[in-house]
Amino acid sequence: MHKITFFGLGNMGLGMASNLVSAGNQVTVYDLLEAPLELMVNKGALAASDSISAIKDAQVVISMLPAGKHVKALYEKLLAHAPTNTLFIDCSTIDALDAKALHKLVRSNGHRFVDAPVSGGVAGASAGTLTFIMGGSKEEVEQAMPILQQMGKHCFHAGGEGAGQIAKICNNMLLAVLMAGTSEALKLAIDNGLDPKVMSEIMKQSSGNNWALQHYNPVPNVMEGVPSSNEYSGGFLVDLMNKDLSLAMSAATANQSVVPMGALARSLYQMHGLRGNGKKDFSSIYEAYLKE
Amino acid sequence: MHKITFFGLGNMGLGMASNLVSAGNQVTVYDLLEAPLELMVNKGALAASDSISAIKDAQVVISMLPAGKHVKALYEKLLAHAPTNTLFIDCSTIDALDAKALHKLVRSNGHRFVDAPVSGGVAGASAGTLTFIMGGSKEEVEQAMPILQQMGKHCFHAGGEGAGQIAKICNNMLLAVLMAGTSEALKLAIDNGLDPKVMSEIMKQSSGNNWALQHYNPVPNVMEGVPSSNEYSGGFLVDLMNKDLSLAMSAATANQSVVPMGALARSLYQMHGLRGNGKKDFSSIYEAYLKE
Amino acid sequence: MHKITFFGLGNMGLGMASNLVSAGNQVTVYDLLEAPLELMVNKGALAASDSISAIKDAQVVISMLPAGKHVKALYEKLLAHAPTNTLFIDCSTIDALDAKALHKLVRSNGHRFVDAPVSGGVAGASAGTLTFIMGGSKEEVEQAMPILQQMGKHCFHAGGEGAGQIAKICNNMLLAVLMAGTSEALKLAIDNGLDPKVMSEIMKQSSGNNWALQHYNPVPNVMEGVPSSNEYSGGFLVDLMNKDLSLAMSAATANQSVVPMGALARSLYQMHGLRGNGKKDFSSIYEAYLKE
Amino acid sequence: MHKITFFGLGNMGLGMASNLVSAGNQVTVYDLLEAPLELMVNKGALAASDSISAIKDAQVVISMLPAGKHVKALYEKLLAHAPTNTLFIDCSTIDALDAKALHKLVRSNGHRFVDAPVSGGVAGASAGTLTFIMGGSKEEVEQAMPILQQMGKHCFHAGGEGAGQIAKICNNMLLAVLMAGTSEALKLAIDNGLDPKVMSEIMKQSSGNNWALQHYNPVPNVMEGVPSSNEYSGGFLVDLMNKDLSLAMSAATANQSVVPMGALARSLYQMHGLRGNGKKDFSSIYEAYLKE
């Protein structure tokens, strides 16, 4: 049992905080909106009247916010008021440079920090089957691990400060490449008269095999129970993929890394988003290859 | 037991024909070079004095040649002389349009045809563990299957005329995308201070998972026994990947298919080949991301 | 004055043939459709009852057809019936390999051939201001030159057999690169608060200067009298740019030329066409960079 | 005549400061290195003993430094000590966001600021033929204009704060696209047997026309007196093009601008730099298309 304060009760955060309550922790929440606060109180959380009082007894502070600037603003308000040696875990997906700056900032205030971005979506947050990718020292990560395991299934230690963010965006950049590449390989096969089911089976057992073919085929009705067979609703939104690809491009620019395939996947997803597909699942990139 | 005539005793062909002999078939071979002929005779094959006499009793004719024009030239010489209803199996990787033309040509001469390009490399040819991807009618494919199974482990029926070629180049185009994408995701992680072994493990268990990460990691010393850990020697040559990508581009142009990721992978592999890497394994594309 | 037979009375062909009549030539036409034939007869051309009788006195045969297969089919019908040493000029935009094959075919029948694809559009055809790019021997090109000058303003001799086609698709591939590149540079400037008119002026006087900025700005209302300021109507259609880019990709595949920028411009134009923009002017690629 | 203090006596800065002296200004310089200081003193400049004393009487402060962080560090030291209402002109090429921040910083200290990145290279700096692209208010730009005209030939007012930087990188991103696109169009022509001189002439008079063809042909020996005909020495270095493309990618990421062509040109130039070509002229990208 830990005393945990949770900030960021969006769709993801609600599921995550609920699982922390279910696991028997004393969870304190604060949010500007009434609705999610009430919802959490009904589940057994404590509601604080402001962010600073929310953390006065905290052992662990978890944040799940839209971008680095939000996390930074929150932390700048909290750090001086947190009990010494509080463990801050940021589960937001933010710029790796921002995450590194947060490590420095939190430590200079006498606390500990782990960047721990998440994958698995709203469904995974609710079911407690998320994947967390952590950046921080061995000690910090070992402390964060049992708490994150209450919200997720897989927890990886990617490396030092900011490594969680880097690992997540590298994975998601590769995912964008896989999904676009798989889409166009399947469309090329279809254009030449092949059945996408047959082609998918062959590639799954060959060197083209990848996560998209195995779990998330982008062509409608090749696979059951995936977004492509449900009008690309639900799943991992194009808008979110675009956010991650933007972070990947930013990381690539920072270090002069060469990312031709990632940059092209980025442009394809951007153009797909511009066409009004931002709220569709990201496997809908397949539609970019079709005649309207 | 079948009476099989085999044309094309290169590195691949020798292994394949040897396995047909070992399986108990009566194998006749013909080649312009003495050395491979002798080698096959020592293994128990019959050597013919010319291509036409090589097929006079054939039930099955198998070809394994560099390009469509070679297959076409051979078939134009043989077709009139083959016993009625001979089964021609072309295992070469050739243009799908050429394969379709061969189907028509062979049938108009009263024979049967299966296009059955292969993957698995010289090692697979020798070990009898190749993968064959077949195009043709159900009947033709059923007749070819037991013979190909003597040389390989997996046999797929991709579809009608030319579908074997199409399926192979679609798979290999996707493979090129996976390999380049995986290389740059790993290099982006390394540039940001992550360990490629750790990053590879995380992605294998995440949505970036693909064949390259599982079986063929392009970063030296992440995985044992793969070309990247052996100075990119052996394996599937950059020159051969470029051949397949050229066929993929040709198929895309023929039908106005949109292949941005494939076309970019194609350009990266071409440039890699221009830099003198044609005889390295194709996972050496990773080196294109490094400072020389 | 020449005796000229003209095949292909589409929008381009009508303008071209009319200018040949105006220049005082004896022009014979044949077409499957009545309307263009009548139109030409009213202008002073002779209408033939079939293609073979159309050429019986021809000194020069000009074709302006959609693709290589049409030209080939026409020539195969005509060549045996044409007066010895007829000058065939094909103004169609076709595959360079087809053009080379036509050179061989025409010469083997005792005639002369120039491939002379055209640029300048319907307006240029009507006004007699087209540009012709010729492939053929010095002698053939010298004979074709004065006739083409009656339909155009600029006539270039690009090189030997098929060189006209190659030069045209190289130019148009570069044009696609310029237009897409100019569009995204201007949009990047606009996204950062700059005025596209000011940005265009600066680049026109700097190293970014190119034909699109000078004559064909893709951003609406930067320049008067261009398609972008007229809802991208008229001009050079996206469908036609896609045809030329397909020919460019085909030429690149044939010789293993590396064309990353051209291939990407190709994909962008294809996707733009798939979105229903085929009949818009090609500068409408700018819209691919905008939110719908 | 103005009292001008000049910081940054690199190859560019030396030429620029010398022209200010020649134009009759009182120029004060300060640098950590002795050699350039002496050189400037010999030309008639005053050498200061430190940066703060260098500006004590300044009406105008000009900086020409490698990156935004250097400019920021210098300005933070100087701003409190500069005479009220000093005109700061930064001619460095830096991140547009940094330039915007500098505008704010300078103004909040009671001074005026113009971002005025430059093109034209060392030769232009020495000859006084540079191009300046300015960002700032109308008043600030009008004040900077006559001073910049003493060092250059063309001065553009691109827009408000940071607009000079944006306009420069948009132009240079387009330039990279033009140069790569022109290189591959010419190589495609050569691969098909055409003479690059003839092809260049045709495209210069056609819709492929652009600055590279007119002034800077990348194919050796097509044009005299350009880097490509002098082993790609001198000119605008690949390393500098890569710096500008990195800034362009950064600007694109900041605003979610879509830049597929620019991003690909960026990757091609990065890879070209990785191959050891950083100190060659940027038209050497043509070599990336050749067999080594």
Measured in angstroms, the CA of B71 and the nearest CA of chain D are apart by 26
B2-23 residue pLDDT tens: 999 999 999 999 999 999 999 9
- A130-135 and B3-7 beta bridge pairing: unpaired
Let me know whether A13 and A155 are in one domain. Answer: yes
Let me know whether C238 and C152 are in one domain. Answer: no
Backbone φ/ψ region at A221: left (φ over 0), alpha (ψ -120 to 50), beta: left
- Count interface pairs A-B at CB distance under 8 A: 238
Query: Touching C: which chains, 3+ CB pairs < 8 A?
Result: A, B, D
Q: In this complex, do D264 and A260 lie within 8 Å of one another by their Cβ atoms? A: yes
pLDDT of residue B139: 97
pLDDT of residue B81: 97
Enclosing domain of residue A225: 166-289
Q: Which residues from chain B sit within 8 angstroms of residue D275, using beta carbons?
A: 275, 292
Let me know whether C100 and C44 are in one domain. Answer: yes
State the angle between helix axes of D238-255 and D163-191 in degrees (0 to 180), rounded to the nearest 10.
Answer: 120
Partner residue facing C263 (CB), from B246, B256, B263: B263
pLDDT of residue D121: 86
Q: In this complex, do B256 and C270 lie within 8 Å of one another by their Cβ atoms? A: yes
- Chain D interface disruption, residue of C170, C247, C270, most D CBs within 10 A: C170
Entry pTM: 0.96
A225-263 residue pLDDT tens: 999 999 999 789 999 999 999 999 999 999 999 999 999
- Chain C interface disruption, residue of B243, B268, B270, most C CBs within 10 A: B270
Split at pLDDT 50, 70, 90, the class of A192 is very high
A215-224 residue pLDDT tens: 999 999 999 9
**Ranges of residues in chain C whose predicted pLDDT is under 70:** none
Nearest alpha carbon to residue B247 among B38, B126, B96: B96
Let me know whether C181 and C272 are in one domain. Answer: yes
Residue with tokens 């079911």: A127
Q: What are phi and psi of A84, to 5 degrees?
A: -50, 140
User: What's C70's domain CATH number?
Assistant: 3.40.50.720
Q: How many domains does chain C have?
A: 2
- The answer to whether B227 touches B273, Cβ cutoff 8 Å, is no
> How far is the C-alpha of D138 from the C-alpha of B250, rounded, in Å?
55
> How far is the C-alpha of D77 from the C-alpha of D67, rounded, in Å?
16
Q: Which residues from chain B sit within 8 angstroms of residue A251, using beta carbons?
A: 188, 192
Q: Which residues from chain C sit within 8 angstroms of residue A270, using beta carbons?
A: none
SS (H, E, C) chain B: CCEEEEECCCHHHHHHHHHHHHCCCEEEEECCCHHHHHHHHHHCCEECCCHHHHCCCCCEEEECCCCHHHHHHHHHHHHHHCCCCCEEEECCCCCHHHHHHHHHHHHHCCCEEEECCEECHHHHHHHCCEEEEEECCHHHHHHHHHHHHCCEEEEEEEECCCHHHHHHHHHHHHHHHHHHHHHHHHHHHHHCCCCHHHHHHHHHCCCCCEHHHHHCCCCCCCCCCCHHHHCCCCCCEHHHHHHHHHHHHHHHHHHCCCCHHHHHHHHHHHHHHHHHHCCCEHHHHHHHHCCC
pLDDT of residue A102: 98
pLDDT of residue B121: 86
Q: What are phi and psi of B101, to 5 degrees?
A: -65, -35
Q: In this complex, do B268 and A289 lie within 8 Å of one another by their Cβ atoms? A: no
- The answer to whether B148 touches B134, Cβ cutoff 8 Å, is yes
- A152-159 and A130-135 beta bridge pairing: parallel
Let me know whether C56 and C141 are in one domain. Answer: yes
Let me know whether B177 and B239 are in one domain. Answer: yes
Domain stop point among D135, D160, D185? D160
pLDDT of residue A234: 79
Question: Pick the catalytic residue: D3, D56, D153, D168?
Answer: D168
Measured in angstroms, the CA of C182 and the nearest CA of chain B are apart by 20
D180-216 residue pLDDT tens: 999 999 999 999 999 999 999 999 999 999 999 999 9
Backbone φ/ψ region at B156: left (φ over 0), alpha (ψ -120 to 50), beta: beta
Q: In this complex, do A256 and D249 lie within 8 Å of one another by their Cβ atoms? A: no
SS (H, E, C) A173-191: HHHHHHHHHHHHHHHHHHH
Q: What are phi and psi of A95, to 5 degrees?
A: -60, 135
A157-170 residue pLDDT tens: 999 999 999 999 99
Nearest alpha carbon to residue C184 among B264, A282, D245: D245
Q: Which two tokens stand for residue A12?
A: 């993801």
Partner residue facing D292 (CB), from B264, B275, B288: B275
Partner residue facing A274 (CB), from C264, C274, C292: C292
196-225 of D, contacting C, C-beta below 8 A: 198-199, 201-203, 205-211, 214-216
Partner residue facing D276 (CB), from B288, B289, B292: B292
C226-251 residue pLDDT tens: 999 999 997 899 999 999 999 999 99
Measured in angstroms, the CA of D119 and the nearest CA of chain C are apart by 9
pLDDT of residue D210: 98
| Beta strands per DSSP E along D101-196 | 112-115, 118-119, 130-135, 152-159
User: What's A206's domain CATH number?
Assistant: 1.10.1040.10
A130-161 residue pLDDT tens: 999 999 999 999 999 999 999 999 999 999 99
Q: In this complex, do D250 and A246 lie within 8 Å of one another by their Cβ atoms? A: no
ipTM: 0.95
Q: Which residues from chain C sit within 8 angstroms of residue A290, using beta carbons?
A: 274
Split at pLDDT 50, 70, 90, the class of D257 is very high
Let me know whether C104 and C172 are in one domain. Answer: no
> How far is the C-alpha of D39 from the C-alpha of D11, rounded, in Å?
12
Q: What percent of chain D has pLDDT over 90?
A: 96
Q: What are phi and psi of D154, to 5 degrees?
A: -120, 135
Q: Which two tokens stand for residue C266?
A: 């190709």
> How far is the C-alpha of A278 from the C-alpha of A212, rounded, in Å?
19
C87-110 residue pLDDT tens: 999 999 999 999 999 999 999 999
Domain stop point among C135, C160, C185? C160
Backbone φ/ψ region at D29: left (φ over 0), alpha (ψ -120 to 50), beta: beta
pLDDT of residue C256: 97
Nearest alpha carbon to residue A150 among A17, A8, A26: A17
Mean pLDDT value of segment A117-126: 92
pLDDT of residue D104: 97
- D60-63 and A118-119 beta bridge pairing: unpaired
Domain stop point among D129, D160, D191? D160
Query: Touching D: which chains, 3+ CB pairs < 8 A?
Result: A, B, C
What DSSP designation does D78 have? H
> How far is the C-alpha of D98 from the C-alpha of D87, rounded, in Å?
18
What DSSP designation does D234 have? S
pLDDT of residue C32: 87
Is C67 in the B-facing interface, judged by CB distances under 8 Å?
A: no
Let me know whether B156 and B11 are in one domain. Answer: yes
Nearest alpha carbon to residue A140 among A97, A106, A93: A106
pLDDT of residue A32: 87
Q: What are phi and psi of D39, to 5 degrees?
A: -55, -45
> How far is the C-alpha of C6 from the C-alpha of C19, rounded, in Å?
12
Q: Which residues contact A126 (CB under 8 A, 6 or more apart)?
A: A15, A18
Q: What percent of chain C has pLDDT over 90?
A: 96
What does pLDDT average to over chain B? 97
pLDDT of residue D234: 79
- Exposure of D53 in the CB half-sphere (CA atoms within 13 A): 7
Q: Which residues from chain D sit within 8 angstroms of residue C132, using beta carbons?
A: none
Is B276 in the D-facing interface, judged by CB distances under 8 Å?
A: yes
Q: Which residues from chain B sit within 8 angstroms of residue C258, using beta carbons?
A: 267, 270-271, 274
Partner residue facing C202 (CB), from D133, D216, D252: D133
**Which amino acids of A are annotated catalytic?**
168
Split at pLDDT 50, 70, 90, the class of B131 is very high
Let me know whether B50 and B76 are in one domain. Answer: yes
Split at pLDDT 50, 70, 90, the class of A105 is very high
B32-88 residue pLDDT tens: 899 999 999 999 999 999 999 999 999 999 999 999 999 999 999 999 999 999 999
Whether residue C100 lies in the annotated active site = no
Q: In this complex, do C249 and B246 lie within 8 Å of one another by their Cβ atoms? A: no
Partner residue facing A264 (CB), from D242, D250, D264: D264
pLDDT of residue C234: 79
For residue A85, pLDDT beyond 90? yes
Let me know whether D175 and D152 are in one domain. Answer: no
Let me know whether C173 and C285 are in one domain. Answer: yes
**Which amino acids of B are annotated catalytic?**
168
Let me know whether B206 and B179 are in one domain. Answer: yes
